[in-house]
Chain A
Amino acid sequence: MATDAETVELLQGTLDVLVLKALSWGPTHGYGVARWLQDVTDDALRIEEGSLYPALHRLEKRGFVEASWGLSENNRKAKYYRITVRGRQQLRQEASSWSAFAAAVAKVLTSTKRPAWA
């Protein structure tokens, strides 16, 4: 488990694309999304888990996910979210623009080219 110093602040809007990615594996509830994010990032993104829910609701209203009530593995009533076709399109778009962005930032930070003023 990472310490506070190692947690990464989430950029605005990033949560949505992470949620969509999580749901792209299959329908699950909010807790499932939180667990998956925790596992794949080794808990590096210590998301305040409550904030997943506004994100899920927003995505639902925008038609990227659908919600329905169901029973969890241990027979508790839980709300399941399923990604829609539009949600998958959205995910593809966001993912590619994220990769481009990340690559650009990485290029800057790893650049050895000295600027003209230095």
Chain B
Amino acid sequence: MPMPAQRPNPSWFRYVAFWRSDPRGELEQELSFHLEARVDEYIASGLDPAAARARAVERLGNLARVQDDCQRIEDQYARRRSMSDALSGAVADLRHALRQLARQRAFAAAAIACLVLGIGVNTAIFSVVDAVLFRPLPFRDPGRLVMVGEGLPAISDANFGTISTPDFGDFATLDGSVFASASVFDRVSLTLTGGEQAERLSGLEVSSGLFRVLGAAPALGRAFQAGDDAPGSPDAVVLSDALWRRRFGADRSIVGKTIVLDGKPTTVLGVMPRGFTFPLPGLGLEPAAFFVPLRMTPDVMQGRGNSFNAYMVARLAPGVSVEKATAAVGTIAARLPSLYPNFYSPKFRVTAAALPLRAHLVSDVRQPLIVLLGAVAFVLLIACINVAGLLLARAAARTRELAVRRALGASRGRLVMQYLMEGAVLAVPGALGALVLAHWCASALSRLAPDGMLAGYRIGLDARVLIFTLGVTGLVVAVFSLVPALSGRSLGLSNTLRDEGRGTSAGRSRQRARRVLVASEIALALVLTTGAGLLARSFAKVLEIDPGFVPEHLLSFRVAFPSYRYSDARVPGAEQALIDSLARMPGVRGATAAVNLPMLGGWQIAVSPEGIVLPKVPLAANFVVFSDYFRTMGIPVVEGRPFDARDDAKGASVAIIDARFAHQFYGNANPIGRRLKWGAPESTDPWKIIVGVVRTVPEHALDQQSLPEVYFPARELAVDTALVDAEMRELAFVVRGPGDPKALTSRVRDVVHAIDPQLVVTRVQSVESLVSQSVGSRRFDLLLIAAFAILALLLAAVGLSGLVAYSVVQRQREIGVRLAIGATANGIVGLVLRDGLATAVWGSALGLAGAFALTRVMRTLLFGVGALDATTFVATTAILIAVAAFASWLPARRAARIDPMTAIREE
């Protein structure tokens, strides 16, 4: 790059000041000329000299004031000049900084790369954390939204977070006093027909007030209004934007048209806007494709107190606090048993509580997100220190320049200013690059996050994120510019000049400062690596868990038998027929079906083992399964027998329990032949005889403790209550194949369509992938933290390598002398390695202390390892020392190749 022509320095007047006589003297000279001229004039007009002088003085007036006034003008002007001086100084610094960078492109590239990485990943993670934890939820005035959940202290101290649908009618009486509006919703799956292909969609049944509560208006048509959810009202649906675009080609004239849902012609009332996603992740529901009215039919009302599956969301009335709302719903809940004695045992207490919507949504993700934010902050810190280290090394090379400038009278402020300017010149492209990286990372994150953890949140670069980046960049510039500036301060001027003059090792204190920086970098990297190590060990432990069944070669999918094609009576037969056809497929080793599968969660039910007195009615995970379930899934039957053909509606009521259930309630006694009951001991449900004990399988996830498990035979339950009937219409089918289960997919579809071409096969998935999904968020956290740790290690290694390389240059002469008097190349390598490793050891000691203090914040993210797991600490320290050794070895090898003669002569 050609040197720009040197411009005339705008600060020339600084040098003029050297020769300018002082303004006070000049004024005196001016005034005395005036006085003398006046005296001459008066004398010429005939006055005697003494009188002439007196009159002239009188006429000139108060000289002291004149001098003061002139001084004030002089001062004012000087102030203004020093300001413009500073400004032109800054411009000169900027030009200087740009020239410096143009000359040292490798340095500039390294520094900017560090900044892009450090600031970029921070901005990306911040944009996610901000969207999920800090920014208002994408609803109107979201801080006023609460979820109401009921609880049954007789079963569990925990609030369910959900309510029994019929109870909504009682809570809704608070509408207008405690709540501005209230609504209830529940998940529903419906079959959409009428296109080329029938489609099974998941959506929500909602009370008419939901959109009013959320403050969400449709983009087309209208949302539900009062009366739309009255029993007997016409079938209506509000579509999500996603479904409208995908299935209906964004047809703007769709409002008022009719679509067919579960065989029923249904009028499209409206379409929600693009940004509207509901429910948000965190409730365990997927975003709804459609919304249909939730009707309080007699069937639904029969489920009071029986199932607690509905979600109640309400907007607090102005001035009402969450606590007040909790008290109000609690009072209503307490009255429920006496109001509805047919549904709630009078001995049962019912509780209810309101919880802010946000707290409800983020309870599971808050901790991991905060840990992630902390981890990227570490990466940023390391990146900063690296840049500071680079600047420091460069400052060392420029010691002489700076010392000369100081000697010539440049103020400390000016020199600090120059450092800041050089920092800013690095930071601006760094920040711009970081924004590009962050944009890319944030969109990748929201795509890769498991279970749609981030679906519906507006993640991306907005004003808040830009302000964050700006703030971080400013901070970074301040830190890495001021560190070298301040470390330069301590240098005695004359020392530096003398040092340089003699050509001995320059700026030892600067080298020491750099050593401290690199040591702290290593410490930070070690903390991060230890965190990643703990997560990795946790993950390994999770993967070691025996799931209790054999997920390999299993294919699962769901098929619904909708009521418009299958009467209640036909459902069980059709389901059994499908199982039989699947089992007859060539190569298939087994086929079965169940209402719930492991990893996807059973029904939570209360069970009462007969003859055991317990303080609370125990909760159990309930799986309703078809025959051949245990054999097909590979779940060993430990005692007794599996379900078989006997276990239908005509036979005796039976149940199978898992080993944990047996152990928890029967200890070492044989549970076969004992009886248990669905619900509280006084419920009217029939006693069920335990016929078998099977191995425990994970209900939700490999790494989560399951409730005691209890299995009921599907064929016996098929004619039970209306609620069960609805659940029984959609089953998970499982087929065990010989090899890759996905290879069975098309044949499975053929078999289903051979039975009924209108049946829809959904959620085709290998059971292995279900297992792996169950630890998806753990894997996600691990991958991110591990990536950050690797980044941190790399950055720290670069920092250490730079430090050692620089000290080799500084000690070139010493090394030359050593080689000349007989040191071996290996000896020199050892010498330099020791130098690097000493720093690494210091850093590691510091890092271990930090890790001891900090890993406890991740305790909830760990599995099977303690926050102070010794193996992890030792292993990560060893990795770090190995990396440090390698980073030091590279420059050490170069040191050994130094030619002693050149090194000694080079002065």
Contacts and interface: CB of A to CB of B under 8 A. Distances in A.
Interface stretch (B62-70, B409-417, B424-432, B776-784): B62-70
Nearest to A59: B73
B717 to A, nearest CB: 98
Interface stretch (A2-10, A29-37, A99-107): A29-37
B405 interface: no
Interface in B31-78: 31, 33-34, 36-38, 40, 59-63, 65-66, 69-70, 73-74, 76-77
Nearest to B63: A50
Interface stretch (A73-81, A87-95, A110-118): A73-81
B30 interface: yes
A49 B70 CA distance: 14
Contacts of B63: 50
Nearest to B33: A78
Contact of B74 (A31, A34, A57, A79): A57
Binding site secondary structure of chain B:
helix
A97 interface: no
A30 B27 CA distance: 11
Nearest to A74: B40
Given A48-B61, A77-B29, A79-B26, A54 B37 contact: no
A78 B74 CA distance: 20
A48 B70 CA distance: 15
B62 A49 contact: no
Contacts of B62: 48, 50
Contact of A51 (B66, B73, B77): B66
A53 B31 CA distance: 8
A68 B593 CA distance: 107
Nearest to B76: A61
A72 interface: yes
A79 to B, nearest CB: 5
A29 B35 CA distance: 12
B34 A54 contact: no
A49 B65 CA distance: 12
B36 to A, nearest CB: 7
A72 B41 CA distance: 14
Contacts of B36: 76
Contacts of A77: 29, 33
Contacts of B29: 77, 79
Given A57-B73, A61-B77, A79-B30, A31 B60 contact: no
Nearest to B69: A54
A51 B62 CA distance: 9
A58 interface: yes
B41 to A, nearest CB: 8
A56 to B, nearest CB: 9
A57 B75 CA distance: 12
A29 B33 contact: yes
Contact of A58 (B26, B30, B61, B73): B73
A79 B36 CA distance: 14
Binding site secondary structure of chain A:
helix
Contacts of A34: 34
Contacts of A49: 34, 38, 59-61
A50 B26 contact: no
A51 B33 contact: no
Contacts of A54: 66, 69-70, 73
A30 B32 CA distance: 11
B37 A53 contact: no
A31 to B, nearest CB: 4
Contact of B60 (A50, A76, A78): A50
A31 B38 contact: yes
Contacts of B34: 29-31, 34, 49
A28 B60 CA distance: 18
A53 B77 contact: no
Nearest to A30: B34
A109 to B, nearest CB: 30
Nearest to A58: B73
A76 B61 contact: no
A50 B33 contact: no
The interface centre, meaning the residue of B27, B34, B59, B77 with most chain A CB atoms within 10 A of its CB, is B34
Given A76-B33, A77-B33, A79-B30, A51 B61 contact: yes
Nearest to B35: A31
A79 B435 CA distance: 61
A37 to B, nearest CB: 12
A29 B31 CA distance: 10
Given A50-B60, A50-B61, A79-B26, A31 B66 contact: no
Nearest to A61: B77
Interface string A15-33: 0000000000000011100
A57 B401 CA distance: 40
A61 to B, nearest CB: 5
A30 B77 CA distance: 21
A53 B59 CA distance: 14
Contacts of A48: 59-62
B61 A53 contact: no
Nearest to B80: A61
A35 to B, nearest CB: 8
A50 B63 CA distance: 6
B57 to A, nearest CB: 10
A79 B426 CA distance: 51
A58 to B, nearest CB: 5
Interface string B503-525: 00000000000000000000000
Contacts of A78: 30, 33
Contacts of A53: 27, 30-31, 66, 69-70
Given A76-B33, A78-B33, A79-B26, A50 B74 contact: no
Interface of B: 26-27, 29-31, 33-34, 36-38, 40, 59-63, 65-66, 69-70, 73-74, 76-77
24 contacts: A29-B30, A29-B34, A30-B34, A34-B34, A48-B61, A48-B62, A49-B59, A49-B60, A49-B61, A50-B31, A53-B69, A54-B70, A54-B73, A57-B70, A57-B74, A61-B73, A61-B77, A74-B40, A76-B33, A76-B36, A76-B37, A77-B33, A78-B33, A79-B26
Given A31-B33, A79-B26, A79-B30, 13 more contacts: A29-B30, A29-B33, A30-B30, A31-B34, A48-B59, A49-B34, A49-B38, A50-B60, A53-B27, A57-B70, A58-B73, A76-B37, A77-B33
Interface of A: 29-31, 34, 48-51, 53-54, 57-58, 61, 72, 74, 76-79
Closest 3 CB pairs of A and B: A48-B61, A54-B69, A50-B66
